[in-house]
Amino acid sequence: MLQYIIRRLLQAIPMLFLISVLLFALVNLAPGGPMTAYSRSNRIAPEKKEAIRRSFGLDKPLPVQYIVWLIGNDWMPVDTDGNGITDSYGTRKGVLRGDFGFSYRNREPVLNQIADRLPNTIYLMTITLLVVGVVAIPIGIISAIKQYSKFDLTATTLSFMGQAIPEFWLGLILILIFYATLENPFTGEPLFPAGGMYTLDAKFSILDRIWHLVLPVTMGMVSWVAWYSRFLRSSMLDVINQDYIRTARAKGQNERKVLYKHALKNALIPLVTMFALDFPYIFAGSLYVELIFSWPGMGRLYYDAATARDYPVLLAVLTIGAAIVIFSNLFADIAYGYLDPRVRFE
Amino acid sequence: MLKYGHFRKLGLLFILVFLAALVLGCTPQETLETPTVEEPAVEEPVVEEPVAEEPIAEEPEAVEPAAEETSITILIPDNPVAFNGLNTDTGYEQALGELIMLSVADVDPNGNIFPELAVEIPTIENGGVVFDEETWSMDVTWKIRDDVYWSDGEQLTVDDIIFTWDVVAEEAWTPAVDYTESIEKIDDFTFVVHFYEGWIFPDYALQFGGEDFFIYPEHYCDAEQGFYEWDCDDEPLSSGPYVLEEWVADDHLTFVRNPNYYEAGKPAIDKVIVRITPEEAVEKTLMLEGDADIHYWPGEDIGKEYESQDNGVELLIAPTERWVMRLIPNLTMPGDETAPHPFLSDVRVRRALRMAVDVDTILEQVFLGYGEPVWTEFFRPPYNVCDIPRPEYDLEGAAALLEEAGWTDTDGDGIRECNGCPNAEDGTVMSMEFAIYAEYGETLELAQQLIAESFKEIGIDTELTMIEGAIMWAPAEDGGTEMAGNFELDMWDDGYPGLDPTDNIIWTYYLSNNLELEGFNVGRYVNEDLDAWLDEAYTLDEEYRKEVFCEIAAILEEDLPQILLWSALDSHGVSERLQGVQPSANDPLTWNVADWTIKE
């Protein structure tokens, strides 16, 4: 197993390298650029504009920019005043040494920007995914056990609706109903807030935090619940028609034990793959949820960076995202081997 | 097969993850992070405690009966970059800067310049401006207030103004940089600006003011960091009515009353909360539910809702407009500045294009009436004195002009071809790309479609495109379509801050200050007469300036290098309980925030 993990980790290195090259090229070759903000501004001297371009490293050829981004330039002489003569060493350490550079837009370290938003995203998305599990798994199980029952038909209908409803629209409708229409009968306040992570100017309260989570989590979970419950239903139906389930029944085990001890455990295994695919969302966030509920998370950071051509922020988010995808897939493969003895690491 | 124990472990893991997420999300937010680089070698600003000797005019607050804290909430969709009007990105930097920063002078919604840090506005009459006709030069003497203190208790002096000017002149740019030879400190509260001989700067009163220029504290800002990089515009020291208490990126900013603010008894409102709310429908809902007081720049449909219904929200509109939506034709071939465009280079065609745009219908149907037709650059006071008649919407007249220009439809497909036109081969089809920028939103897209339909009616085919501003206005080396000349007809809005249009006209039309010198004459328009008249605009004689601008207006009307169409109104949704708000096209809405009150 250890050998397998080491091999996969070693394989991940060239893959990440290739991904980083591709991402760097795609981001930089897209039309437009970070200097647009200064291009439309009359408020900066042309020579200062050039100095900013130099300080961003945009005066160098793309391959050199990539090398600086990757391994830094604190080892290479640089020309800081643009007179064609190198006069000092650079200050960048490169992403391999944990330096993702400065945001072009805000002029602050990229990692600071990510650190401001990542906890908010992990907080929202982890709870969303956990609630998805808590809601979707029972629905999937009951739908499979009681196939074609009223419950199954209702769940099926609702899950199709859940998948079809545009997330953006759902969020607005939730606000319309639970913020603008329904009131808390005891306080007269809206039933749920329309956005934000907590009540401003109020003392810290865990109930307040949960109160602010209800609508964003609901918005984020609907399509996931629909998808996961359908998937589990299908997986469960596959399993309960297997020979070993028939054998368990033939040996006289009661139906409850057959379903929950033998069938369910095996039906859940494919969910590991799905979870591995969805795991990066915990870090990437959901742009629509963040936009509708004014949630200060990674989705908005990425979106704003993309529109402003803030390359360092864009590249940091994309590269970290790519690494998480690779490692979550590795984690899924390892979990498979752990959960299913038929899978062998070779 | 999966063992039961595995599930118990997984269950335990889930519970741990859930708790970890709650803990993560429930960590109280910190107020104001420390700067990422070294702090200036001064004491940390303590906003509440002025120095002992500081003169405070009011009675001690302790004797006042404890009043309930008043607060208002402003909704904006984007996180500002910094408290820096010259380093703007979202347009909200100036608006929030007004809460905490002062300028030497500012301008009100009606175009009247008023002193802020200054004791009075220098003029020739009061001896503040000395004009030497022999050398054609001017000196301006400013006297500033001696009762203004930074929120850490340090007094604001001329040193702060000169410090700010030096940094701006070194690293950024304002029009005055080109004219200012030196600034001389007379004493802590008096300084003189010496302008270069041979140069007159008519807009001198807003050299250190207007919407963009704030004064920064010398003792707090680190000039070595650089104007665009320094931390003192992220964690600013206040001289204005409020102090920044907390800034949670992408979430909210909280401002509290500045106890050191120089105007006695102001501001009346204790706290201003700015919520970053990206979705406009949510902004509207918050306003209608009474949970917010200002919806900054609502869309026309929402503005209409505020205005037409009794819902506790008013739509306040600035008395003058500023941003003019315009068609910008490239007079040269896309990608080849040396060759004329087949038809946009012909002024008859440009005139026909203007005649084909039904501005009234667009304003009525797309902008719901929240706009005014504009057809000359000189439409704002005090220079709206030129007699330039409003052009008529006339499709038949437009078609006749195209015929006259040698563009006729010979093959019957409804699109004209060149038949004796001056700048294209016969048979050239009258077709062009027509681009708008994506960020403006749906209204501009609808307007583009209506205009394209009108063009089609007069036999001009258009390929409609919508591109990001980051591409349209990028430098040529980054693929910027306009700077590189790779466009045919663009539509976007432009306008100038303050009262003086001179620099904006120069950047937009002056040939010798064109693209190489960072101008925006993207249509490649050339008229030496115009350049000469622009040189004449540099005088303190206001009446002569009006004459000059009217000459320029006549030339632009004759040549139509750009086709001005309309100006959308500067409007804001404001709760009925909030009083004293006066939208302005010259300044952000918050220009008089210290005067705002809450109606009981």
Give a three-class secondary structure readout of chain A. Answer: CHHHHHHHHHHHHHHHHHHHHHHHHHHHHCCCCCCHHHHCCCCCCHHHHHHHHHHHCCCCCHHHHHHHHHHCCCCCEECCCCCCCCCEECCCCCHHHCCCCECCCCCCEHHHHHHHHHHHHHHHHHHHHHHHHHHHHHHHHHHHHCCCCHHHHHHHHHHHHHHHCCHHHHHHHHHHHHHHHCECCCCCCECCCCCCCCCCCCCCCHHHHHHHHHHHHHHHHHHHHHHHHHHHHHHHHHHHCCHHHHHHHHCCCCHHHHHHHHHHHHHHHHHHHHHHHHCCHHHHCCHHHHHHCCCCCHHHHHHHHHHHCCHHHHHHHHHHHHHHHHHHHHHHHHHHHHHCCCCCCC
| Angle, vertex CA A80, rays to CA A79 and CA A84, nearest 5 | 35
A183: nearest CA partner in chain B: B289
pLDDT in tens, A281-322: 888 878 999 999 999 999 999 999 988 889 999 999 999 999
What pLDDT score does B45 carry?
A: 43
User: Measured between alpha carbons, how far is A270 from A290 in angstroms, rounded to an integer?
Assistant: 30
Closest CA to B99 of B598, B587, B599: B587
Instruction: Assess contact for A330 and A322: CB atoms under 8 A.
Output: no
DSSP B65-124: PPPPPPEEEEEESS--S-S-TTS-SSS-HHHHHHHH---SEEE-TTS-EEESSBSS---T
- The gap between the terminal CA atoms of chain B, to the nearest Å, is 70
Q: Is the model's pLDDT at B419 over the cut of 70?
A: yes
pLDDT in tens, A115-134: 999 999 999 999 999 999 99
- The share of chain B scoring above pLDDT 90, in percent, equals 64
| Both tokens assigned to B565 | 């169409």
ipTM exceeding 0.90, yes/no: no
Question: In this predicted model, which residue has the larger pLDDT, A41 or B562?
Answer: B562
| Total CB pairs under 8 A between chain A and B | 197
pLDDT band for position A42 (50/70/90)? low
pLDDT in tens, B362-378: 999 999 999 999 999 99
Chain A contact set for B81 (CB, 8 A): 105-106
Q: Are strands B431-437 and B180-187 parallel, antiparallel or unpaired?
A: unpaired
User: Measured between alpha carbons, how far is B80 from B29 in angstroms, rounded to an integer?
Assistant: 19
Report CB contact under 8 Å: B14, A130.
Answer: yes
User: Measured between alpha carbons, how far is B32 from B261 in angstroms, rounded to an integer?
Assistant: 21
A120–B contact, CB cutoff 8 A: yes
Q: What are phi and psi of B433, to 5 degrees?
A: -85, 135
What pLDDT score does A140 carry?
A: 93
Question: Under 8 Å CB-to-CB from A181, ≥6 apart: which residues?
Answer: none
Chain B contact set for A37 (CB, 8 A): 89
What pLDDT score does B65 carry?
A: 56
| Both tokens assigned to B426 | 């016969």
Report CB contact under 8 Å: B171, A338.
Answer: no
Report CB contact under 8 Å: A39, B483.
Answer: yes
Q: Is the model's pLDDT at A225 over the cut of 70?
A: yes
Chain B contact set for A297 (CB, 8 A): 250
- Mutation test of the interface with chain B: which of A28, A35, A43, choosing the one with the most B Cβ atoms within 10 A? A43
Q: Is the model's pLDDT at A155 over the cut of 50?
A: yes
| Both tokens assigned to A252 | 């006289």
User: What letters, b where the CB count within 10 A reaches 16 and e where it falls short, cover A213-225?
Assistant: bebbbbbbbbbbb
Closest CA to A195 of B71, B277, B245: B277
Closest CA to B470 of B438, B442, B495: B438
- What's the one-letter identity of residue B307? E
Q: Are strands B461-467 and B431-437 parallel, antiparallel or unpaired?
A: parallel
Closest CA to A30 of B470, B184, B514: B470
Chain B contact set for A48 (CB, 8 A): 171-173
Question: Under 8 Å CB-to-CB from A201, ≥6 apart: which residues?
Answer: B71, B254, B271, B273
Name beta bridge partners: B72.
Answer: B272
DSSP B408-477: E--SSSSS-EESS-SSS-TT-B-EEEEEEEGGG-HHHHHHHHHHHHHHHHTT-EEEEEEE-HHHHTS-GG
| Both tokens assigned to B13 | 């893991």
Q: HSE, CB side, 13 Å, CA atoms: give it for residue A195.
A: 32
Q: Is the model's pLDDT at B304 over the cut of 50?
A: yes
- The share of chain A scoring above pLDDT 90, in percent, equals 56
Which of B:12-41 have CB within 8 Å of A? 14, 17-18, 20-22, 24-29, 33, 36
B521–A contact, CB cutoff 8 A: no
Lowest mean pLDDT among A181-185, A266-270, B170-174, B302-306: B170-174
Chain B contact set for A245 (CB, 8 A): none
What pLDDT score does A88 carry?
A: 84
Question: Under 8 Å CB-to-CB from B525, ≥6 apart: which residues?
Answer: B331, B509, B511, B559, B561
Q: Is the model's pLDDT at A343 over the cut of 50?
A: yes
The kind and range of the H/E element at B175 are none
Closest CA to B436 of B357, B491, B493, B367: B491
The kind and range of the H/E element at B229 are none
pLDDT band for position B518 (50/70/90)? low
Tokens 């906003």, residue located = B47
A288: nearest CA partner in chain B: B279
Q: Is the model's pLDDT at B275 over the cut of 80?
A: yes
pLDDT band for position B24 (50/70/90)? low
A181–B contact, CB cutoff 8 A: no
A31–B contact, CB cutoff 8 A: yes
What pLDDT score does B465 carry?
A: 95
Instruction: Assess contact for B564 and B235: CB atoms under 8 A.
Output: no
User: Measured between alpha carbons, how far is B177 from A181 in angstroms, rounded to an integer?
Assistant: 55
Tokens 């009675």, residue located = B59
Quote the minimal CA–CA distance from B393 to chain A in Å: 32
What pLDDT score does A344 carry?
A: 65
The kind and range of the H/E element at B193 are strand B190-195
Report cis status (omega within 30 of 0) of the bond before B267: yes
How would you class A163 by CB atoms within 10 Å of its CB: exposed for 0-12, middle for 13-18, buried for 19 or more? middle
pLDDT band for position B416 (50/70/90)? very high
Report CB contact under 8 Å: A269, B282.
Answer: no
User: Measured between alpha carbons, how far is A333 from A277 in angstroms, rounded to an integer?
Assistant: 12
Quote the minimal CA–CA distance from A327 to chain B in Å: 18
What pLDDT score does B38 carry?
A: 39
Report CB contact under 8 Å: A48, B173.
Answer: yes
Q: Are strands B113-115 and B105-107 parallel, antiparallel or unpaired?
A: antiparallel
User: Measured between alpha carbons, how far is B79 from B91 in angstroms, rounded to an integer?
Assistant: 10
Q: Is the model's pLDDT at B259 over the cut of 80?
A: yes
pLDDT band for position A196 (50/70/90)? very high
What pLDDT score does B241 carry?
A: 97
| Both tokens assigned to A272 | 């590991």
| Residue A260 CA: distances (Å) to CA of A141, A339, A341, B116 | 9, 16, 19, 76
Chain A contact set for B518 (CB, 8 A): 42, 46, 49
Give a three-class secondary structure readout of B540-577. Answer: CCHHHHHHHHHHHHHHHHHHCCCEEEEEECCEEEEECC
What mean pLDDT is predicted for residues B262-268? 94
Report CB contact under 8 Å: A52, B228.
Answer: yes
Question: In this predicted model, which residue has the larger pLDDT, A81 or B96?
Answer: B96
What pLDDT score does B50 carry?
A: 40
Q: Is the model's pLDDT at A280 over the cut of 70?
A: yes
B173–A contact, CB cutoff 8 A: yes
Average pLDDT, chain A: 89
User: Measured between alpha carbons, how far is B578 from B599 in angstroms, rounded to an integer?
Assistant: 6
Instruction: Assess contact for B418 and B426: CB atoms under 8 A.
Output: yes
What pLDDT score does B30 carry?
A: 46
Report CB contact under 8 Å: B479, A339.
Answer: no
- The gap between the terminal CA atoms of chain A, to the nearest Å, is 8
Chain A contact set for B82 (CB, 8 A): 106
Closest CA to B279 of A75, A139, A169: A169
A304–B contact, CB cutoff 8 A: yes
What mean pLDDT is predicted for residues B563-576? 96
Report CB contact under 8 Å: A123, B282.
Answer: no
Instruction: Assess contact for B159 and B186: CB atoms under 8 A.
Output: no
Chain B contact set for A268 (CB, 8 A): 2
pLDDT band for position B462 (50/70/90)? very high
| Both tokens assigned to B178 | 């080109």
A113–B contact, CB cutoff 8 A: yes
Q: What are phi and psi of B429, to 5 degrees?
A: -80, 140
Chain A contact set for B482 (CB, 8 A): none
Instruction: Assess contact for B45 and B237: CB atoms under 8 A.
Output: yes
What mean pLDDT is predicted for residues B61-84? 81
When CB atoms are compared, the residue of B36, B171, B518 closest to A109 is B36
Q: HSE, CB side, 13 Å, CA atoms: give it for residue A223.
A: 16
| Angle, vertex CA B25, rays to CA B22 and CA B27, nearest 5 | 105
When CB atoms are compared, the residue of B89, B254, B475 closest to A35 is B475
User: Measured between alpha carbons, how far is A123 from A277 in angstroms, rounded to an integer?
Assistant: 18
A301–B contact, CB cutoff 8 A: yes
Lowest mean pLDDT among A40-44, B426-430, B551-555: A40-44
Q: Helix axis angle, A264-278 relative to A311-339, nearest 10°?
A: 160
What pLDDT score does B344 carry?
A: 97
Instruction: Assess contact for B205 and B114: CB atoms under 8 A.
Output: no
Name beta bridge partners: B139.
Answer: B130, B194
Residues in chain A: 346
Tokens 């990757």, residue located = A70
A49–B contact, CB cutoff 8 A: yes
When CB atoms are compared, the residue of A48, A130, A291 closest to B17 is A130
Report CB contact under 8 Å: A48, B171.
Answer: yes
Name beta bridge partners: A135.
Answer: none
